[in-house]
Amino acid sequence: MACISTLFFLSARVPMQFRVKFWELTACKRKTWLSWSLQRCCSSDTSLSSSDHLSSGLERYRDLQKYFRRRLKDAYHRFSNIPDYSVVSGHHHLYFTEEDGIYRMDKKQSHLEPEQVLNLRQISGELEKTGLENNKRKQRFQWTVQRIRLSPQERHLAASLKCTHTEELRCVVVRLERRRFLPLHPQHVTLTLEKVFSFEWATDEILFYSTLEGLRSSAVFRLDLTSSGSRITSVFEEMQPDVFVEVALTRDRQILTINCNSRTSSEVLLSDIATSNLDPFVVQPRQLNLLYHVEHWRGRLIILANTGLGQEYQVVQAPVSEPSMDSWVSLFAPEPGTTIKDMDVVGDHCVLVARTPVSELALIVVPLIHPKNAYIVQLPSWACAIKTKKPGLADQQNMLEFLISSPVHPPVPYCLHPENGLLLSDTGDGSSPENQADYITTRLEACSQDGTFVPVTLFHTVPVEHLRQAPLLVHVYGAYGRDLNMEFYPEKKVMLEQGWALAYCHVRGGGERGLFWHRQACVGGKRRGVEDLQACLHHLFSLGVSSPSLTALTACSAGAVPVGALCNRHPLLMRAVTLQAPFLDVLGTMEDHSLPLTLEDRDEWGDPVGNPEHRHIITSYCPLHNITPQHYPSMLLTAYSGDNMVPLAGVFKYTEQLKKAVHTHSSMKPKSECKPAPNIALNIQPGANHLGTEDFELMLEEEALKLAFLYMELGLDPPRPPRKRRR
């Protein structure tokens, strides 16, 4: 399924995710963690420079952290077998990942032992890094399989690998041969390609791929596998620095697309795989504020473009022979208040993922032969996230398989047959035993300062009127047009089971209510995201949901901006804050053109160097530059030593200034009037991943520390484990 949000927040400081395609490379590690009780990776222990000496204020949480680590480990093991669509289906085999590599199983002879296709230990052996001699701590370097692609006749396999603690990427091409019964050695590795970001097979011998240099993907290459070896040729290179390039296949595998997207424009090139001429041609030349994505159906292009009312998304079509905008004919435009989040072409139908005016997810099915007969497929009211299955070589093309989940509901598999609207669940009633618990999903709206209604999703176990004494964890993002991440996390389910209420505030700057929702909080409108967050808190408290003394805020990356700004303006609205990879020095970052994302981020934050008005606006809300002596909430900041998206210097500077402000405020008050000083804790983790560690054990430590921090700072008693029955 096409993740259309890639069209306008590429290269962003985002949490998943994560450029959307990075979702497969990094943010989906959360999905991987759920099955890492099986350790689907291969590692080698190598010494690394520890970041412990950079952390501060963590010791007081260590004992409780150990307790929560055990609880979380049990929770992750409890959900280790939830569906994740990690198995790839070929014509003859099923391919899956184990701890030491990729294996395949014969579909017709499933009784045979699985055959290893790729041995990751060989890959890990190639990466030998040693740390400082005086550093005793060991870190696990791991190669994890990110994506698997099979050639059309299953003659070759290409797999992308990522190294833990670095941003190193590579693609391994394997020639698939007949099963060798004894011994079971891995298949032959044809070659290894470095820095490969996206890749697709055009034929059994031709692979197109894009490369990632730093944070920029701008070049596409073609690999030809011949009987005498291989040949690599350059296919395309994008010259504009703010454009991100990736390759993809349409669902019917007839068209290979080269997608060149910035946050303000799109340009797609096509290669018709059905013909012998694979030279790409442009669909519609780049045009400012035109965003579009291309699928294929019966010799026509099905295009999702923001050419609808208010520059929102609608579905149009055009012949492949005349693909430019002059030939676009409208097929479907959603009703006002309904926003299109994604598109796929399934058989003779276009299936759209949409968000309704009441903020619920739904599917809209548009028959491509009779588009006026479009209809809506309702999903369970608790559904907050959807992940579609990429069809395998032998999978049916006329049905759509997908998973739905929420932060507290594990994924449930569904199958949609668009021709008759039949929606089936593997569990029969659309739930799993875990989803049958008494969890309540309540959708609210808070009125912001300018009269705009802001959606809030609340998860709880008792009626709202009984939540006054419940601890509340509030989530927020609000940048780059990206929806707040609402996929399943075991730690959220653990919190809900312990009586917490979980609120997700869909403030402006995100994409929950369409492209205009993002546009309203760009550059000069950034203060609206802060006002929206404040309104959400006031609305929750007015309904009887918790209270400021029992409330904590959490955010990651650019979501730290509205949180940090609100802490400066109204610090008494919350008791504690946790921030991950936080973007806190907006002004300093946007002034420094040597940083990798500064030029690309001007459309989001503004240009404080070239535009005095932008500088004034940024200065008015920037979390770092508005710290003042007052009683702040306690704060836990988690950052990563090699993060090249959010400069670590800004996190250090923010932490030091905040500590000074807290100390100054405490020294200004008589001892009799002083409240207990807030705790400002800094947790610096090793590694270059903006989205956190990919090591399962380190992830547990990090999440357990957050829970220990929240319980201690909110003055909560740690939950008691259930008593064992006496025999």
Model confidence pLDDT, tens digit, residues 568-627: 999 999 999 999 999 999 999 999 998 888 888 999 999 999 999 999 999 999 999 999
User: Is there a catalytic annotation at residue 242?
Assistant: no
Q: In the predicted model, is pLDDT for residue 723 greater than 70?
A: no
Quick one: pLDDT at residue 644? 83
Average pLDDT over residues 141-161: 91
Count of Cβ atoms closer than 10 Å to residue 591 Cβ = 15
Q: In the predicted model, is pLDDT for residue 134 greater than 60?
A: no
Question: Which pLDDT band holds residue 433 (cuts at 50, 70, 90)?
Answer: low
- CB burial class (10 A; 0-12, 13-18, 19+) of residue 329? exposed
Question: Which pLDDT band holds residue 6 (cuts at 50, 70, 90)?
Answer: very low
Q: For residue 617, which of 630, 607, 631 has the smallest C-alpha distance?
A: 607
Average pLDDT over residues 713-721: 86
Give pLDDT tens digits for 442-479.
Answer: 999 999 999 999 999 999 999 999 999 999 999 999 99
Average pLDDT over residues 188-210: 93
Quick one: pLDDT at residue 599? 86
Q: In the predicted model, is pLDDT for residue 437 greater than 70?
A: no
Give pLDDT tens digits for 414-426.
Answer: 999 999 999 999 7
Averaged pLDDT of the chain: 87
Query: What Rg, from alpha-carbon coordinates, does the chain have?
Result: 25
Sheet of 115-119, strands arranged across = 88-89, 93-98, 101-106, 115-119
Instruction: Give the type of residue at 126.
Output: E
Q: For residue 657, which of 684, 685, 637, 639 has the smallest C-alpha distance?
A: 637
Find the catalytic residue in 557, 585, 634, 665: 557
Q: Where are the domains of the chain?
A: 439-546
Which DSSP string do the residues of 143-164 spell out, in sequence order? Answer: EEEEEEEE-TTSSEEEEEEEET
Pick from 210-214, 287-291, 506-510: least confident: 210-214
* Strand bridging mode 634-640 / 576-580: parallel
Quick one: pLDDT at residue 229? 86
Quick one: pLDDT at residue 228? 83
Pick from 100-114, 338-352, 521-535, 651-665: least confident: 100-114
Find the catalytic residue in 448, 539, 690, 695: 690
Average pLDDT over residues 652-665: 96
518 contacts 8 by C-beta, under 8 angstroms: yes
Quick one: pLDDT at residue 178? 75
12 contacts 605 by C-beta, under 8 angstroms: no
Find the catalytic residue in 272, 601, 643, 695: 643
Backbone angles phi, psi at 119, to 5 degrees: -100, 110
Question: Which pLDDT band holds residue 19 (cuts at 50, 70, 90)?
Answer: very low
184 contacts 113 by C-beta, under 8 angstroms: yes
One of 3.40.630.30, 3.40.50.1820, 1.20.1250.20, 3.90.650.10 is the CATH number of 439-546, namely 3.40.50.1820
**pTM for the structure as a whole:** 0.90
Whole-number Å distance between alpha carbons of 361 and 348: 22
Quick one: pLDDT at residue 40? 33
Within 13 Å of residue 520, how many CA atoms lie on the same side as its CB? 22
- CB burial class (10 A; 0-12, 13-18, 19+) of residue 502? buried
Q: In the predicted model, is pLDDT for residue 127 greater than 50?
A: no
- CB burial class (10 A; 0-12, 13-18, 19+) of residue 351? buried
Quick one: pLDDT at residue 28? 37
Quick one: pLDDT at residue 629? 96
Q: For residue 540, which of 438, 465, 478 has the smallest C-alpha distance?
A: 465
User: Is there a catalytic annotation at residue 690?
Assistant: yes
Instruction: Give the type of residue at 221.
Output: F
Q: For residue 555, which of 530, 535, 572 has the smallest C-alpha distance?
A: 530
Which DSSP string do the residues of 87-146 spell out, in sequence order? Answer: -EE-SSEEEEEETTEEEEEESS-TTSPPEEEEEHHHHHHT------TT---EEEEEEEEE
Instruction: Report the sign of the C-alpha dihedral through residues 74, 557, 709, 55, in that order.
Output: positive
Whole-number Å distance between alpha carbons of 546 and 473: 10
Maximum alpha-carbon separation in the chain: 84
CA distances from 655 to 303, 658, 661, 662 (A): 47, 5, 10, 11
* CB contact set of 356 (below 8 Å; sequence gap of 6+): 337, 338, 362
Pick from 142-151, 464-473, 501-510: least confident: 142-151
User: Is there a catalytic annotation at residue 409?
Assistant: no
Using DSSP, how many helices (H) and how many strands (E) does the chain show?
Answer: 14, 38
CA distances from 658 to 464, 478, 561, 617, 619 (A): 35, 23, 15, 21, 17
